[in-house]
């Protein structure tokens, strides 16, 4: 007797699952694209719902989502740190150290 592909994994068959064909399910690649797009712009209600549904059953994408959020927070902290002037040692809003140093006469 022939076995049917596992319905819980949309990528287990070369033929897309009916939920994918009807647009009721995101594949992992599509879910990752929505996660990354959400960093730059607001995503629509439909995409948010489909992503939440996907994350509720996909452990790998849930881990990836956590990693994306962690990297976004780290980059936000780094941007704030770089904007504060602590990276170059200058106080916030001050000119660079080279510009403040008197230039020798030639």
Q: Are 81 and 88 in contact (CB under 8 A)?
A: no
**Is the residue at 59 inside a domain?**
yes
Domain count, the chain: 1
**Is the residue at 65 inside a domain?**
yes
Neighbours of 24 (CB within 10 A): 12
For the chain, report the end-to-end CA distance as a whole number of angstroms: 93
Place of tokens 């452990």: 59
Each residue of 10-64: pLDDT tens digit?
A: 444 555 676 666 667 899 999 999 999 999 999 999 999 999 999 999 999 999 9
How far is residue 104's CA from residue 99's CA, in Å, rounded to a whole number?
A: 12
**Is the residue at 2 inside a domain?**
no
**Is the residue at 104 inside a domain?**
no
State which residues form the domain around 29.
Answer: 18-84
Task: Give 77 or 46, the one with higher predicted confidence.
Answer: 46
**Is the residue at 92 inside a domain?**
no
Residue 95's φ and ψ, nearest 5 degrees, are: -70, 165
How far is residue 73's CA from residue 58's CA, in Å, rounded to a whole number?
A: 23
**Is the residue at 67 inside a domain?**
yes
């Amino acid at each position: 007797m022939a076995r049917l592909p596992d319905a819980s994994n949309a990528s287990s068959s070369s033929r897309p699952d009916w939920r994918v064909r009807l647009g009721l399910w995101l594949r992992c690649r599509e879910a990752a694209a929505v996660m990354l797009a959400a960093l730059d712009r607001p995503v629509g209600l439909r995409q948010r719902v489909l992503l939440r549904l996907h994350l509720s059953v996909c452990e790998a994408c849930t881990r990836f989502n956590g990693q994306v959020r962690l990297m976004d927070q780290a980059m936000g902290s780094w941007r704030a740190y770089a904007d504060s002037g602590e990276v170059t040692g200058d106080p916030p809003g001050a000119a660079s150290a080279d510009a403040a140093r008197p230039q020798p006469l030639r």
